[in-house]
């Protein structure tokens, strides 16, 4: 017999928790939800986070509301699976982040004060370092390297920023933006040499070095490289779609055009963008 959905009179978060519990009910839950694990759900969690970022990039607040709901569902899903194993529940997740936010904002919830935003950021990093040390002391984390707990599942550029930031925290850092740019030119030169030599394996390695230095440059400039490339991707789409529209006005598609014509239209798109 089909049971009714949890009451709409419940608080929304409580109703969502009950819905997830029903979906995972071994007797009459959803077969697909029941067969999921942390590992199988993780890619969806990452995907939903990207969709949140995409809605923000597009300035679509209605879509952002929906995407944040999808992301919240992922948190509830993982929490429910952990609860079934006796590890923790959603309330524990909420309690942990509550405690962490209070702990990391002593200037708001305590007696600490910071001279400026840079001092506040330094204080935040120091608090995070203390938390890592405490976890290690309690057997909850590795202590072999400063870089051990930088998640390997992060997007490549984001992880590169975090790795270089950790190293910079102990003085392993290029002193100025200009120094980073010099290193970038050096790495580009090495990549070009390998391209000339035709060694594709070494080209791949050198391209990785270029991207790592680019991530360092982004960190030094306080720019999120993932946000920067998302913005450029969106700009590329706008300009290429302009080219497609203009070609369509001429009765053409891109594959019926040539590079010179499309490049001229691309320049038009750039000029139109600058003109607003």
Q: Which one is predicted more confidently, 237 or 146?
A: 237
Boundary of a domain, candidates 82, 103, 124: 103
**Overall average pLDDT of the 114-139 stretch:** 83
The b/e string for 74-104 (b: 16+ C-beta within 10 A; e otherwise) is bbbbbbbbbbeeeeeebeebeeeeeeeeeee
Give the model's confidence band at 142: pLDDT under 50 very low, under 70 low, under 90 confident, else very high.
low
Residue 150, domain member (yes or no): no
pLDDT at 272 over 80: yes
Residue 262, domain member (yes or no): yes
Residue 1, domain member (yes or no): no
**224: Cβ–Cβ under 8 A, 6 or more apart, which residues?**
158, 161, 218
Boundary of a domain, candidates 73, 103, 133: 103
pTM, two decimal places = 0.69
- For 268, the domain range is 227-274
Residue 55, domain member (yes or no): yes
Boundary of a domain, candidates 83, 103, 123: 103
pLDDT tens for residues 199-241?
999 999 999 999 999 999 999 999 999 989 988 999 999 999 9
- What's the alpha-carbon Rg for the chain, to the nearest Å? 25
Residue 159, domain member (yes or no): no
pLDDT tens for residues 12-51?
999 999 999 999 999 999 999 999 999 999 999 999 998 9
The CATH number linked to 95 is: 1.10.287.1080
Give the model's confidence band at 146: pLDDT under 50 very low, under 70 low, under 90 confident, else very high.
confident
Q: How many domains does the chain have?
A: 2
pLDDT at 192 over 70: yes
């Amino acid at each position: 017999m089909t049971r009714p959905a949890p009451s709409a009179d419940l608080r929304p978060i409580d109703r969502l928790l009950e819905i997830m519990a029903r979906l995972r009910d071994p007797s009459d839950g959803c077969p697909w939800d029941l067969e999921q694990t942390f590992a199988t759900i993780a890619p969806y969690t990452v995907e939903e986070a990207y969709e949140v970022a995409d809605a923000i990039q597009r300035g679509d607040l209605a879509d952002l509301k929906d995407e944040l709901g999808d992301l919240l569902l992922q948190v509830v899903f993982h929490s429910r699976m952990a609860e079934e194993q006796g590890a923790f529940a959603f309330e524990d997740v909420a309690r942990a982040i509550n405690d962490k936010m209070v702990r990391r904002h002593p200037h708001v919830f305590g007696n600490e004060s910071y001279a400026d935003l840079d001092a506040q950021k330094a204080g935040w990093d120091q608090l995070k370092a203390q938390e890592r040390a405490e976890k290690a002391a309690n057997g909850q984390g590795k202590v072999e390297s400063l870089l051990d707990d930088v998640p390997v599942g992060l997007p490549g550029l984001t992880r590169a920023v975090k790795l270089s930031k950790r190293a910079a925290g102990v003085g392993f850092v290029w002193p100025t933006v200009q120094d980073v740019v010099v290193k970038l030119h050096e790495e580009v030169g090495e990549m070009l040499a390998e391209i000339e030599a035709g060694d594709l394996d070494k080209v791949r390695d050198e391209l990785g070095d270029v991207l790592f230095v680019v991530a360092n440059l982004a960190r030094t400039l306080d720019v999120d490289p993932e946000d920067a490339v998302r913005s450029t991707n969106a700009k590329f789409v706008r300009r290429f779609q302009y080219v497609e529209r203009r070609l369509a006005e001429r009765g053409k598609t891109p594959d019926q055009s040539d590079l010179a014509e499309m490049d001229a239209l691309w320049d038009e798109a750039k000029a139109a963008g600058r003109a607003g």
